[in-house]
Amino acid sequence: MSENQKRIKVIACATVVEEMLPILPDNVDYEVLEYGLHLVPDNLKKSLQKAIDAASPSYETIVLGYGLCSLAVIGLKAEYSQLVVPRVDDCIALYLGSREAYNRLSKKEPGTYYLTKGWIEVGDTIYEDYQRTMEKFGEAKAARIMGIMLKHYTRLVYIDTGQLNQEAYRAYAQKTAAHFNLRYEEVEGSTGLIRKMMSGPWDGEFVVTPPGQTIHYSDFSTPSDSAAEPSPIADAGNETKGSA
């Protein structure tokens, strides 16, 4: 194996990269994929495989900054690298620090919409969706559409991941909650899982697939799954805005 192939590369959407950059190790490279790809999981799968194929000859390890993400990672493989994926349903668990933390919050109140600095930075929010819909269809129709999209949601939770300028992002989240009549709450996030994702240890919180082998759905199962499955609403997470 060449020296060039001993490095690590992270492939992630823009929202995850926003949280990675302040703590990115010097020996880790990264590639940003368009955040909107997860709106069509098959497009995300194709883009991920293309990026993996391009990077695999040069890296010992390729880390995907995604979770199951509507099964988009299932079937992916790297010919010359091991693939590492957080064992989570979507990126909300990354921002909270663990799959268990996300499951606890989801069980407490399934109808929750989440916001972080990353989603706000890239415009991946329900407020931006509303603005785009209003420009296209007018205010009345936009209000009806958003009402349908959010009919099961009762609160908005802002995840404070400890990054700089939190006040500006917090104010945006509060404005969004007020606009859609959602109860506003805030929780403390964690960069612990994101740090481990970038440099290890890749323990039971990750799916680790050897070179040439394929990621399977069963790889994401844990012994506690049957006792801690999120509700259908919680599992959908932020699908109104297509979180990863």
Q: Tens of pLDDT along 154-210? A: 999 999 988 777 899 999 999 999 999 999 999 999 999 999 999 999 999 999 999
Contact 95, 105 (CB under 8 A): no
Percent of the chain at pLDDT exceeding 70 = 89
Q: What is the pLDDT of residue 236?
A: 36
Q: Which of 40-49, 175-184, 227-236 has the weakest average pLDDT?
A: 227-236
Q: Tens of pLDDT along 62-99? A: 999 999 988 999 999 999 999 999 999 989 999 999 99
Given pLDDT bands bounded at 50, 70 and 90, which one contains residue 238?
low
Given pLDDT bands bounded at 50, 70 and 90, which one contains residue 39?
confident
Q: What is the pLDDT of residue 96?
A: 95
Arithmetic mean of pLDDT over the chain:
88
Q: What is the pLDDT of residue 24?
A: 94
Contact 172, 201 (CB under 8 A): no
Q: What is the pLDDT of residue 224?
A: 58
Q: What is the rounded average pLDDT of the residues 129-149?
A: 94
**Phi, psi for 195 (deg, rounded to 5):** -60, -45
Whether residue 121 is predicted with pLDDT greater than 50 in this model: the reply is: yes
Between 139-149 and 126-137, two packed helices, what is the crossing angle to 10 degrees?
140
Q: What is the rounded average pLDDT of the residues 107-123?
A: 91
Query: Comparing 165 with 7, which gets the higher pLDDT?
Result: 7
Hey, where are the domains in the chain? 3-89+192-224, 93-188
Q: For residue 102, give both structure tokens.
A: 């996300």
Peptide bond into 201 cis (omega under 30): yes
CA-based max dimension of the chain: 61
